Chain A
Amino acid sequence: MSAAPAIELREVFKSFGKTQIIRGVNLAIGRGERHAIIGPNGAGKSTLFNLVSGRFPVSSGTICLNGADITGLKPYQINRRGLSRSFQITNIFHRMTVFENLRCAVLWSLGYRYSFWQAVNGLRDANERAAEVMEGIGLARRRDALAGLLSYAEQRALEIGITIAGGAEVILLDEPTAGMNRSEAAHAVDLIRRVTAGRTLVMVEHDMGVVFDLADRISVLVYGEVIATDAPAAIRANAAVQEAYLGTAANSH
């Protein structure tokens, strides 16, 4: 590969106190790739996301975004370099409207920074971009509803909308279909496919249907280690994966 990978983790470790949660993860995700991270509960999937997005500092190791070292940067610095993430537990601006949520999510990327001399209603590109995203996630008719009063599925859609609105090249989605019924999940998959077209997507997901439907490649994380990274068909056939994860998952469902 000539260009650097979109995301690269080298020997990443993370401990909370004495407990080691991430134990030497090496992972490279190419540009434009749709990558899923699966694994049993407590494997450290969300922690891995929190490390990559800068929410927690790593204990040791290196994380690169498009070839540049981002280890130890603050979340907003990482975001400004083109990485955006969603959260497993809905993390939106509750007392603001749907439209305001999205507009806030696009302001930095359009270069408005901390401007207090421009009227936000006059920022044509920001308003158009926010409206476009709002249309894209199907919330146009809820434009002026307070985000905190939306239904769960709507809030999840808004969560994804905020994540992609800034136009980041690398998108991290943490369990985007968590808590959704089958038709809502199908709708969400369709939405994710549309809004992340042409970008690098990394997602943590429990629903195997969603994973095999969306992902180009899959990594399996077990007890803080990546035991396999491969195309969906190969992952399905991998004996170690079946033993470590799919078998138990199949039994528990």
Chain B
Amino acid sequence: MNGAVLRFKPLNVGRYVTWGLFALVLVLAPVAFPQGFAITMMSQMGIWIIFALSYNMLLGQTGLLSFGHAVYSGLGAYFSIHVLNMIGAGAFAFPVTLLPLLGGLFGLLFGVLFGYVTTRKSGVAFAMISLGLGEMVFAASLMFPSFFGGEGGISANRMVGKPFLGITYGPAIQVYYLIAVWTFAAVAAMFALTRTPLGRIANAVRDNPERAEFVGYSTHMVRFLMFALSGFFAGLAGGLSAINYEIVAAESVSAQRSGGVLLAAYIGGVGFFFGPVIGAIVFTFFVVYIAGLTKAWLLYLGLFFMAIVMFAPGGIASIVLMNLNVAKHGLFGRLWKPYGWVAAAGLLAFLGFVAVVEMTYHLSDTGGGTMKLFGLSFEVKSLAPWLAALATLGAGGFLYRLAWNRFRGEWDDIQRIIAEKAP
């Protein structure tokens, strides 16, 4: 028994290493990638990491599937940008560094207001209501142009107030470090929250709401508190985005934004605390990089999401952890070759698919003409490229099935060995 009690206060070296590394990555990332677009992208990643983790306080930790989470980040952003403008106009003095905190408080306020209504329900009804509230706020945003700025949104200048230690938030790198500091603090706070009585009871409510009621907890109250706190962190992310972009438009409370954060969190893996961090990074990469390459990026993102839902519901995090587990047992060597085949066949099928999609887009956009793809230039209305693309897709798909079956056999065999090793 003593042994069991002693385990509660471990000097967890692993944890310090993890958090130390996280901080180090945040500090050194701009040194490794000093290009302007990289700084922009990494700033955006930080904001999305907070946003996706706040979303996962609902989905992964409390079992609440929300389709309207952008409301809280968006309203946080709107209030922040108005405060920024007021500071600029000299209405009062407030350090820009702490502005995200105000955004968080407004997120919290609306989390309390709307959360009281929505968390009366759970499950599917909650999901529908969250969508309805999201649409309501979006519709309202078009009605009140003085606050929401109509089509153009509200813009501001973040270089207001007195510089502190030479920090003006003029250069993007200063904004990046502001975001990095807040990201670290918010991630740490949200992680700490999972290890409090409320955080643990939220898990209990997710697993079995009925039983939670029979150990003394009001499930409505638990959901409500988690919802409100999640609104706080979403608002914080919104405040950061107001500083980062110096503009907030109706898009920031839209269903697209709400869907985006769901995608980001789920792709990363909602069952693990760090899953949404991975998801936010992948998602931002899509939004910034892939969106610059093709207009069909949302289609690719949607397909990626569907593949995760159907074949890896634990998200990227679970894929990583399962493979780490294989590696831990020293069996990863057996997977290199099957993985290689799967990747090669998958790439072939993917290329064929991308060609079909891009050609269709080009056709519907321009109604014909020459297009460039993979370094080739051809007439989109001619038959040959279509045949080639479809043939690549078909062959890739066929080979992928073969490769996948082979991989699956190997994988199942490895899992069997690992299961036998376990006590």
What is the interface of chain A, defined by CB distance below 8 A to chain B? 53, 55, 74-76, 79-80, 84-85, 87, 91-96, 100, 103-105, 107-109, 112-124, 127-128, 131-132, 134-135, 140, 143, 162, 165-166
Contacts and interface: CB of A to CB of B under 8 A. Distances in A.
Nearest to B207: A93
Contact of A76 (B198, B199, B207, B217): B217
Given A80-B216, A120-B195, A107 B229 contact: no
A125 B229 CA distance: 27
B225 A108 contact: no
Given A118-B196, A135-B1, A140-B4, A107 B208 contact: no
19 contacts: A76-B217, A91-B214, A95-B206, A95-B207, A100-B200, A104-B204, A105-B215, A108-B216, A108-B217, A114-B198, A115-B198, A116-B193, A116-B196, A116-B198, A119-B192, A127-B5, A134-B4, A135-B4, A165-B215
A93 B201 CA distance: 10
A91 B195 contact: no
B221 interface: yes
Nearest to A112: B197
A114 B207 contact: no
A76 B212 CA distance: 8
A183 B384 CA distance: 75
Contacts of B222: 114
Nearest to A128: B5
A131 B193 contact: no
Pairs A-B, 8 closest by C-beta atoms = A108-B216, A116-B198, A93-B207, A75-B213, A112-B197, A79-B216, A115-B197, A105-B215
Nearest to A93: B207
Interface of B: 1, 4-5, 8-9, 192-193, 195-201, 203-204, 206-208, 210-218, 221-222, 225, 229
Contact of A95 (B192, B203, B214, B215): B203
A84 B217 CA distance: 12
Given A114-B221, A120-B197, 9 more contacts: A95-B206, A104-B201, A114-B197, A114-B201, A116-B196, A116-B198, A117-B196, A119-B196, A135-B1
Dominant SS at the B interface? helix
B213 A79 contact: yes
Contact of B211 (A95, A118, A162, A166): A162
A121 B211 CA distance: 22
Contact of A120 (B9, B199, B214, B221): B199
A196 to B, nearest CB: 17
A165 B199 CA distance: 19
Contact of B200 (A80, A103, A113): A103
Given A114-B222, A116-B199, A74 B207 contact: no
B204 A79 contact: no
A121 B194 CA distance: 11
A73 to B, nearest CB: 11
A123 B197 contact: yes
Given A116-B193, A119-B192, A94 B200 contact: no
A55 to B, nearest CB: 8
A116 B225 contact: yes
B254 to A, nearest CB: 30
B197 A96 contact: no
Contacts of A87: 211
A98 to B, nearest CB: 11
Contacts of A79: 213-216
A116 to B, nearest CB: 4
Contacts of A96: 200, 203-204, 207
Contacts of B198: 114-116
A87 B200 CA distance: 22
B119 to A, nearest CB: 13
Contacts of B214: 53, 75-76, 79, 84-85, 91
Contacts of B210: 55, 75, 91
Contacts of B9: 121-122
Contacts of B211: 87, 91-93, 162
A93 B203 CA distance: 8
B104 to A, nearest CB: 15
